[in-house]
Each structure stands twice: as structure tokens, then as C-alpha cells.
Amino acid sequence: MPTFLSATNLADLTGTSLATAQRWGESGVYPYHKNEKGKAGFYMEELTDVEPVRMMLDTKWDEEFHVASLRDYTSVELFAGAGGLALGMHLAGFRHVLLNEMDAMACQTLRRNHPEWNVLEGDIHQVDFTPLRGMVDFLSGGFPCQAFSYAGKKGGLNDTRGTLFFEMARAVKEIQPKVFMGENVKGLLSHDDGRTLEIIRNAIAELGYTLVEPRVLKAIMYQVPQKRERLILIAIRNDIYKKGVRFKWPEPYRRVMTLRDAFYRGELFDDDVPESAGQQYPAKKARVMAMVPEGGDWRDLPIKEQQEYMGGSFYLGGGKTGMARRLSMDEPSLTLTCAPAQKQTERCHPIETRPLTVREYARIQTFPDNWQFEGNMADQYKQIGNAVPVNLAFAIGRSLIRLFNDIDAQEPEETQYAEAIKTAHNMLPPRLFELDMFDMHELYPRETAIINNPFVKKKHIDNSKLDDSKNVLVCLVPDKYIVPYTTQNAKAYFTGKKFPSTVKLNKLYYFMPYTKGKGIRDLYLIEVARVGTKHEFVEEADENDFRLVFEIKFVTQLFEDYKPIKLMIWRTFTDTNLRAIMAM
């Protein structure tokens, strides 16, 4: 049976407009057909002179799918996000020794799904990668693209300073992987009339790597039901490239996947999409969206509704096809954004009047159903929307594994996976202990002390005998509760509903309040830590709103003025010791 290809999909594959693809059919350039649903389009088998279609018809996808790594190839991933690229590379055969990501919720997602991964949460600017030098085969990451300088004569590495590409380049310089890969939006190709990419090319050459000619990969060609395009940059270290190894781009899948493939049991998933949380439209918007047909947008509304919904945009030029947009079940999704109900980039469900759910979002990005996302609903949509589609990453990863197999065939060189894992683990901050206050209440009745500091002399504290080896907990104090702390008269501090700490409670000793916009100044002693309630401190609060309560006593003002510091744990707490605090 011939494989049907809609005019829309042909336009996307060839990079032309829908009107052009339709004209090809209507004018007889290619035979035009109607499928069983009456939709006009083409048969792929009759488009053999259209290169992307020919590639899909002649694909060696099945052969590539079974490429296996000759050994454990070690990898580091930067800007890891929620793990789309990392998971695809892992499925291909890479073994991650370190993943770096700044977003706290994304890091929790990575840890939840792969507890064995070494996830280094924090700003890449603060990471020293030199301990991993010579231990890592491959480095990858989707670096955000800020403005680049073109002041330099050569447009090399120095002209990327201040950008996150520079930090990725620094990691490459410090680790010296055999191969590294960067991915970005396709707009990087033409950004600043091509000057930005030229700077990156020169920077890669300066690092001692040969850049494979960059290519924009269309996700719809790689078993992804989404019209997403990513620019892929792959560079091979010069000493390896000189030996004749070459990278071969991945073979495409044999057809274009649709939302029907994403939402129902079939080639992509073994079961229908599970129920999950999702945004809802307000009544006014739901009424408008209910009028939009499958695959339609604001232009399909009655003229009066168009004018009311579009407002001033109605009178501006351009198609504005993302507004009031309903997806089509028999087409791939438009590129997902960080939120499914933004007015400019609407992603309404094809046959129900609602935004896509979190799980539907994840399936369009080809995350497996067992991949769970941490944070609130907005956090989850953001993580999924920012991800590299897993199947696209998997396809690229298999091609990279084939490249590494070729490298090893030239000159076998075993990287020490176990040693790399151990080294990377030593680069991580201490493990986080997360306490849920409701669970803590079950273990510790309200009157029970979790810590009862045996070193406290309640009547007198000798400030000259501070123990700088003791742990200090630095905690953010919201502005509405700050007054007792500014006057150095605070007697207690209550945490949020969950308390993350890298130090076990019985090891905590000192406490320092953090004032927003200022930093830290005063040192307190923790006398007791216990389960209490917010109601103890805020009368209108629920009596069952359990919190961790620190009973504290002022010791001394450590600094003449406030010292700014970064709160690293969920941007609310920091664990350290008094020696580190006093050295600031």
C-alpha cells in the first residue's frame, strides 16, 4: 500500500510553502491524490526525485537501529534540561559520567528518572571540568545562543566570551573529548548574516577540532511527531580526524509520524496516551476555540469573532497562524513551546477544546510514559517544551556510536568508565536530604525535638569561642517576617513545607538569616529543631500546616555590613560551615 504524504508535510520536508506544495499537485508536477478521509496529498513512492522523500524511501533506518557500542563510551552533557538529549544518547549507548544543569526542577527530573546519573546542579560558569581531562569520549549540549561579539579580527574563541557557547568551549578545552556536539535553533545559521556561525567555526578550529559541515535536522524525518528543526554541530578532535574517520549523518525514518501516532497505540507507543494534568481554557477562550476546526486557526472564525479575539492584531499584516490554532490529528504537531496556551503560539488539542496535557506534550517530544517530570505544571510544560526530542537525539546518538566504533577500530583506546564516574561524583556537592514536613510529623510529635543541641549554654554564650568547623544553615527570610532578624531579636525560624538540606539535622549547629537583596550578617545558635506549625507564628495559618521549626539564639554580628552570597539549594537555603562563612 502506498504511503500517503499530505501537502503540508511535503512542504515541511522540502522547506517550501504549503501553497507551493499544493500547486505542485494541482498543476500535475506530481500526481495528486485524496486519502480515505478526502484529504489531498501525494504518495511518497511517486516523489522519488524529491530528495528528502527519496531518502526516507531508501532509508537504512532499521540497519542503523541495531548499531551497538563496542564498549562504554563516556560522555558529559551540559545544559541538560529535563533530559531529552541525555536520554536519547543514553539509549544509543553513551554512559553519562556528568550532567550539568542550572534549573532546579529539571535537575530533580533527571535525578528522579536516572538516580545513578551524576547531576551537577548549578551555574556552568562555576564548574571546573579539568578533573575529567582525558576521561571522557564525548561531550554534548544545547547551548543557549546569546549575542556574539564580532570585534575581533579572526572571530575566534575570544569573541564568544560572555556567551554560554564560550563556557561549552571551555569545558571542551578542559576535558579534551574525542568528539563534541552542540545543538541550537536553526536560526543560528543565518544569525547576524552568518557572522555568529563563523565565529563559532573559528572558535572550534582554535580548540583543535574539525567541524563537520553543520546540518539542520528536521525532527519529522526521525520518528518524531513534531515539526521541530535543530541545527547540529559536530566536531572531531584534529588528531583523530587526521586518521581518516568521518561522521555520517543519521538515516531518516520511513514516514512522517502524526499526533495520531503520538496519542494512540501503534509504532511509537504500546498504549494510548495516559491521563495527566493539563491547563484549561477560561470560559471565554474555550467558547472561541470551540469554533476552530481541526487544523484551523483564527481565520476560520466568523469575522466578528476574529475581530474580537485578535484585537489590534486583526488589522496588522502577516498570517499570524499561531493564534487560535488547533492542531490536526493526522499531521505532526507544530513545534512545542514552553506553554501550550499562549495566544501567539496556541497548541489546542485536535478534537477536544483544551490545551495539550503534560503527557501529550511529553509524547510529542517522544519521552517514554515512565519519564516523570518534577515541579508544578508550568515547570513541567517548560521542561518538555525546551527539550530535544528523544527520538531525534537517539538517531543522532546511534550515528555517533558508529563514529566512535570507527575511531576505536583505528586505534583502540579504553577510557576508564568507573574512574570517570568516581571523579565526576567527587565534583558534585553533598547529597541532598529532603524532608517532607507531613511525614516528619508522623515520626516526631509536635513536642519532640529532632535536634537538641547539647553544646548550648542557654544563659551565656562566649562569642570568643566560635567553632569554625561547625555547620551553618543559611536561610532566606521573607520580607514580611524580617523585622525580628534585622533587630537581632529572632527566637525561631520556620521552614517551607519541604526542607532540603545537604547536612543531616543532627549535624546543624549555627543559623544565619538571609535578607533578600542584601545577604547575611548575623549568627545565631540552633538550640532545638522540631516539627511545629506555621500557625505558631502566623495566627491565620492552618493549625495542620506542619513546618520544621528552629529555635535559635543570637550569638554575634559576624560582619559590619551585609555580605551577599548565593543561595544554592532551591534558591532558598545554603549549607556550609562557619570557616567558609568567615572567609567571605
135-150: per-residue pLDDT in tens? 999 999 998 766 655 5
d(CA 166, CA 171): 9
Which residue shows C-alpha cell 535536634?
451
Window from 63-77, 213-227, 317-331, 482-496 with minimum mean pLDDT: 317-331
In whole angstroms, how far apart are CA 384 and each of 105, 258, 447? 12, 18, 43
Q: Would the pLDDT of 278 be above 60? A: yes
Average pLDDT for 261-275: 96
Local confidence band at 446 (pLDDT 50, 70, 90 cut-offs) = very low
* Residue 415 confidence class, pLDDT cut points 50, 70, 90: confident
Task: Give the active site residues.
Answer: 145
Instruction: Answer whether residue 432 shows pLDDT above 90.
Output: no
CATH topology of domain 433-582: 2.30.130
Residues above pLDDT 70, as percent of the chain = 88
Percent of the chain topping pLDDT 90: 62
Of 153-162, 216-225, 510-519, 573-582, give the range with the top mean pLDDT: 216-225
The more confidently predicted of residues 301 and 414 is 301
The boundaries of every CATH 2.30.130 domain in the chain are: 433-582
- Determine the 3-state secondary structure of 301 from DSSP: coil
**What confidence category does residue 52 fall into, taking pLDDT thresholds of 50, 70 and 90?**
very high
CA-to-CA distance for 61 and 473, rounded, in angstroms? 54
Task: Scan for cell 501525494, then name that residue.
Answer: 42
What grid cell was written down for 495? 521552614
| DSSP letter assigned to residue 497 | S
110 pLDDT band, cuts 50/70/90, is very high
Grid cell digits, residue 518: 542584601
Residue 93 pLDDT exceeds 80: yes
Q: Helices 18-26 and 7-14 sit at what angle, rounded to 10 degrees?
A: 120
- How high is the pLDDT of residue 456? 39
pLDDT bucket at 579, cuts 50 / 70 / 90:
confident
Position 32 pLDDT exceeds 90 = yes
All 3 cell numbers of residue 166?
564560550
**Predicted confidence (pLDDT) at residue 292 exceeds the cutoff of 70:** yes
Q: What is the pLDDT of residue 317?
A: 66
Summary mean pLDDT of the chain: 88
Task: Return the residue matching grid coordinates 553544646.
Answer: 455
Which DSSP string do the residues of 430-480 spell out, in sequence order?
PPPEEEEHHHHHHHS-TT-EEEE-TT--SS---GGG--TTSEEEEEEE-GG
CATH class of 4-58: mainly alpha
Average pLDDT on 366-379 reads 94
As annotated, the residues of the chain forming the CATH 1.10.1660.10 domain(s) are: 4-58
pLDDT digits (tens, 9 = 90+) for 509-524: 899 999 998 999 999 9
CA distance 112 to 280: 27
pLDDT band at 156 (very low <50, low <70, confident <90, very high): low
The H or E element that residue 519 is part of is: strand 519-520
pLDDT over 50 at 437, yes or no: no
Q: In the prediction, which pLDDT does 463 show?
A: 52
Q: Cα(444)–Cα(464) distance, rounded to whole angstroms?
A: 35
| pTM: predicted TM-score of the whole model, two decimal places | 0.76
- Does 440 have pLDDT greater than 50? no
CA distance 392 to 220: 9
In the chain, list all ranges with CATH 3.40.50.150.
67-255+388-423
* Neighbour count for residue 349 (Cβ, 10 Å): 20
Over residues 384-392, the mean pLDDT reads 96
* pLDDT of residue 450 exceeding 60: no
**Averaged pLDDT for residues 376-399:** 96
CATH of domain 67-255+388-423: 3.40.50.150
Q: Is the pLDDT of residue 300 over 60?
A: yes
Mean pLDDT check: name the lowest of 15-24, 162-171, 274-283.
Answer: 162-171
Q: What is the average per-residue pLDDT within 4-17?
A: 95
Q: Is the pLDDT of residue 441 over 50?
A: no
Torsion angle of C-alpha atoms 201, 204, 208, 210, degrees rounded to 10: -50
Give yes or no for a contact between 203 and 165, defined as CB atoms under 8 angstroms apart: yes
